[in-house]
């Protein structure tokens, strides 16, 4: 969820930009995901009276929204006179699980270290998730904490949760405005020829995947930019990289690294069998949200680092990597913008080389002795 809401969310008209993860969902479902304190009755009334708009047009609660559209949400409605959603009583084990994730607490936010394998939000087949554990942090007279961004189920690391509606709007604005700095650590297969570079390749949902998989789409994809830096290498077998996304597309880091021929270790969805290292290296995905730097209300700053999960730390040790070689420092300023034609050319090159690599993979299936083909080189090297 991206938002322009002010800190006093109940007093200001708010605007939210629909993220890729919410593409195609019903409007009432979007409210349930991102503004659960606003009831269906309030959403219906706002729609009926024309106060709720999508791209400036009137909408109905059952209408489906698309990524990139802008929602205008009127002030108020946080309670609407209704009782707050009943809190689910957590078991002792669930409370302990939630508390084990907590690495920082401020007046405005909770910062969690999400373990791999735990979904951020629930779904039809997902009953155990971070959102379902947040009642563990709400006292009797406190609001229920709210998610303001998400991590993939198999990605570990820093996850910020807002403690109030006002702080949720504040943090959403920072994430959507890209002023929040997120630095990931990843282990990748092979070693990029260019030690530092920028990957610019638009991303969209892959047809036929049911929205479960993304791909490079030079014609209709949404712009996506990732900066990477190789921290250390283990011969030609693998490398440890820092990744900093400047856009927030679904599976962006995973798609971009696979597109340059160096999938994230353990990411079979985008790297196929080549994403798994031989030997005793864990088959879990090695992508970790290492550090988050973000402004907080009242002029404060949150700067937090999340320890590595057990499998990631073990692989680092196996490959001889020293954690002290990286402080997960962000790029000071975004790389200079390319011209529109340069972006198109780079995206076409990424797509062409990605398709070439995939064709090579299909040809080599069942031939374990064939030498691995080199992946495409990243554009925009710095």
Q: CA quadruple 320, 325, 326, 332: dihedral positive or negative?
A: negative
152 is catalytic: yes
- Give CA–CA dist 131/119, Å, rounded: 9
- Give CA–CA dist 239/211, Å, rounded: 30
Ramachandran quadrant class, 337 (left: phi over 0; alpha: psi -120 to 50; beta: rest): beta
For the chain, the residue count is 382
Pinpoint the alpha helices (H) of the chain: 27-34, 40-48, 92-101, 165-176, 252-259, 268-271, 310-318, 340-363
List 4, 22, 131, 152, catalytic entry: 152
3-state SS, residue 274: helix
CA distances from 320 to 203, 234, 289, 308, 315 (A): 34, 7, 21, 15, 8
Burial of 262 by CB count in 10 Å (0-12 exposed, 13-18 middle, 19+ buried)?
Answer: buried
Contact between residue 333 and residue 318 where contact means Cβ atoms under 8 Å apart: no
List the catalytic residues.
Answer: 152
């Amino acid at each position: 969820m991206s938002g322009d809401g002010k800190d006093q969310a109940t007093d200001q008209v708010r605007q939210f930009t629909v993220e890729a993860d919410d593409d195609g969902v019903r409007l009432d479902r979007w409210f349930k995901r991102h503004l659960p304190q606003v009831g269906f009755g309030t959403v219906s009334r706002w729609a009926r009276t024309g106060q709720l708009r999508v791209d400036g047009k009137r909408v109905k609660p059952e209408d489906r929204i698309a990524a990139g559209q802008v929602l205008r949400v009127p002030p108020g409605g946080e309670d609407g006179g209704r009782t707050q959603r009943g809190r689910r009583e957590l078991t002792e084990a669930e409370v302990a699980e939630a508390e084990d994730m907590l690495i920082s607490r401020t007046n405005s936010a909770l910062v969690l270290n999400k373990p791999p394998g735990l979904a951020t939000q629930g779904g039809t087949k997902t009953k155990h998730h971070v959102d379902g554990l947040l009642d563990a942090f709400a006292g009797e007279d406190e609001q229920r904490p709210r998610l303001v961004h998400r991590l993939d189920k198999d990605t570990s690391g820093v996850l910020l949760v807002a403690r109030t509606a006002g702080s949720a709007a504040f943090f959403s604005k920072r994430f959507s405005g890209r002023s929040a700095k997120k630095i990931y650590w990843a282990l990748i297969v092979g070693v990029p020829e260019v030690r530092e570079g920028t990957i610019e390749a638009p991303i969209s949902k892959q047809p036929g995947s049911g929205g479960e998989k993304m791909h490079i789409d030079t014609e209709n994809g949404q712009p996506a930019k990732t900066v990477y830096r190789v921290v250390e290498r283990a011969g030609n077998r693998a490398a440890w990289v820092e990744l900093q996304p400047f856009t927030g597309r679904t599976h962006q880091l995973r798609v971009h690294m696979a597109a340059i021929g160096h999938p994230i270790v353990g990411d079979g969805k985008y790297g196929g069998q080549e994403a798994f290292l031989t030997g005793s290296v864990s088959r879990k995905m090695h992508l970790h949200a290492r550090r988050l730097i973000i402004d907080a209300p009242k002029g404060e700053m949150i700067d937090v680092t999340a320890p590595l999960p057990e499998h990631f730390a073990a692989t680092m040790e196996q490959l001889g990597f020293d954690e002290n070689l990286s402080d997960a420092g962000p790029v000071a300023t975004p790389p200079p913008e390319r011209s529109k034609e340069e972006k198109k050319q780079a995206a076409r090159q990424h797509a062409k080389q990605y398709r070439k690599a995939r064709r090579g993979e299909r040809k080599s299936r069942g031939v374990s002795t064939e030498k691995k083909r080199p992946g495409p080189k990243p554009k925009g090297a710095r």
